[in-house]
Chains A and B, each alone.
Chain A
């Protein structure tokens, strides 16, 4: 386990986690480890321990949570969500932490590139002329034209567009 330093700053960060929908039950975690035990990623990545992420979150250890790609290793399978006896929902704690990281502009480059594509093409990959030609060969209709102007309007209004490097 990693060293914990608890002070006004870390408490403030912990409080900001608790305010995010889905993360309200964080303090009910009694560290039983069901989440880690059942996590398919923890089985294969030594540093990814959902129980430890919950513990670090309870003590607002922002530095340790944000300083690596730790938060981005969750596959979002919701196994911990379903199995947690306290309904703490570590997957939602991780989601809350990702949202707080994103406010500071922190996001995993791979996820950022998917969201950049979304803002540019309306899809998480380009589905343009080339793809539509292939679709035609398969007797499939052209992919829907995703009204990019509407998507960029939405992402601009929420402030996401700039953060994912879209334009």
Chain B
């Protein structure tokens, strides 16, 4: 796609954000509108199929994911995702079905009774990747109207945005930089810390909750030493890190911020626009770090 005037995507919100994180969805929609990126809702879309389903029945997982991709194909639009899990599930399905005619045949046989057919005409990209590859960091830089002046944050990419790397083919799976580059564009400093690619533990929250909290708090403790907040690009990671701190009483709470929220304020959006009050750990300090409007 050329230029930034014609960016238009099918918006795949994903269950967790739809039902639990209005602040993430709101800030994404406002961010897109501000940047001139058009997001079109996907009628009759559902859960992506989940990595859990992939783990127990591949054909079902592929078919459920393919059904969602078919909706975007009908719309003639590439998909914008904001959840690492959905991104991985849909990207993997898209790749498998484009490359493996045998599996494609099986899936289309399953889809036949729903009146749908996977054709392989669209791509799936996470918001972060779209900002980096389609919108472009130079353009993003031009859109910043209220840069942060003394803000230090750290980034958490999460696993499924980058891994498995031979499927996701995005950034460096061990030392990614794209989110840090975006953070630095806002004027904030993206502070490096040990264990950056450590998992949030979210996927086993319902199996060994205590392990999820322990994994979450370990990162919180480390980041607390270096930064004022942790920026995430996945609803599961966000919830894991927030909830770990609400469940286990750690002394110093670290605000967890969605990527479009931190970007949003520097683009001139209000706290209300980015749904900052939906964050359960008070994040109102962010606005105090903004320079006055130029």
Question: Which one of B129-137, B180-188, B195-203 is at the A interface?
Answer: B195-203
| Cα A77 to Cα B51 with chains together (Å) | 11
The interface residues of chain B lying within 8 Å CB-to-CB of A108 are 207
| Cα A151 to Cα B15 with chains together (Å) | 15
Main secondary structure of the interface of B (DSSP, over half): helix
Given A99-B57, A99-B58, A146-B45, CB of A82 within 8 Å of CB of B164: yes
| Cα A81 to Cα B64 with chains together (Å) | 25
| Cα A61 to Cα B95 with chains together (Å) | 33
Q: Do residues B113 and A107 form an inter-chain contact, with CB atoms below 8 A?
A: no
Q: Do residues A40 and B57 form an inter-chain contact, with CB atoms below 8 A?
A: no
| Smallest beta-carbon distance B46→chain A, Å | 3
Partner of A154, one of B20, B51, B110, B198: B110
Given A123-B19, A140-B22, CB of A75 within 8 Å of CB of B204: yes
Given A99-B55, A151-B64, CB of A146 within 8 Å of CB of B26: no
| Cα A158 to Cα B64 with chains together (Å) | 11
Partner of A147, one of B15, B46, B204: B46
Given A73-B207, A139-B26, A153-B113, CB of A127 within 8 Å of CB of B52: no
| Cα A41 to Cα B41 with chains together (Å) | 37
Q: Do residues A144 and B25 form an inter-chain contact, with CB atoms below 8 A?
A: no
| Smallest beta-carbon distance A85→chain B, Å | 14
| Smallest beta-carbon distance B261→chain A, Å | 14
Closest 8 CB pairs of A and B: A146-B46, A77-B199, A110-B206, A78-B163, A122-B46, A102-B56, A150-B114, A123-B15
